[in-house]
Amino acid sequence: MACLHLLREDLACAIYVDTGYTYRETQRLVDYAATMVPMYVVHSDRAGQNERDGIPADIVPLDWTVLGQQMTSPKPVTIQSYLGCCWANIAAPLFEQAKTLGVTELVYGQRNQETHKSPARHGTLVCGITRLHPIEDWTDQQVMDFLKTKMEIPAHYAIRHSSLDCYDCPAFHHESSDRVAWTKEHYPKFYDAYRVRKLAIESALVEAYSGLS
């Protein structure tokens, strides 16, 4: 959102990937962004991808992956890396849309202060598209101070994992505790869906770990 306000006069468009598991807060921000720049919405098949490749997790017991089950035996739940899930359902669809549109420069809000970030930096060329990171050196406080001059700050921006991509995602455990608590309070049904997947992963991890002793 900071990048959008900072560069709105220079942007040709914005791209949003809808996984089908979004929050109302996220959709309102997408609608808001669409009032400033042309918006391309891409719908990814996260439900189908998770059905094939498993629930995303921070820790992946190998025998519970698709390949692991082919080499050992079927399991009650299939698990995949959260990196694979995010790539397949958000990053790759966004990048494909950008290439389809003939984009040569793609703006990211990635910042050096973040714990999860690509090794790419401002000006890095990736598959023919130059990544631009205009707020790469900004701190959390600088982002919020800037946004306060441009818009009313959404209440959920107080959450550390404020992007609210998929309500039932059980990954990003260390960064998502406040998001999970917030979801439980504001969206009980979303929380129930999250909890089912979280418990399935925990059960698999307990079984996998017990087999190592």
- CA distances 59 to 68, 127, 194, 195, 200, Å, are 14, 30, 16, 16, 13
Per-residue pLDDT, averaged over 186-190, amounts to 97
pLDDT of residue 212: 65
d(CA 207, CA 213): 11
Cβ count near 146 (within 10 Å): 16
pTM above 0.85, yes or no: yes
- CA distances 62 to 46, 68, 72, 207, Å, are 21, 5, 10, 12
Confidence tier at 53 by pLDDT (50, 70, 90): very high
Confidence tier at 115 by pLDDT (50, 70, 90): confident
Per-residue pLDDT, averaged over 93-113, amounts to 95
pLDDT above 90: percentage of residues in the chain = 86
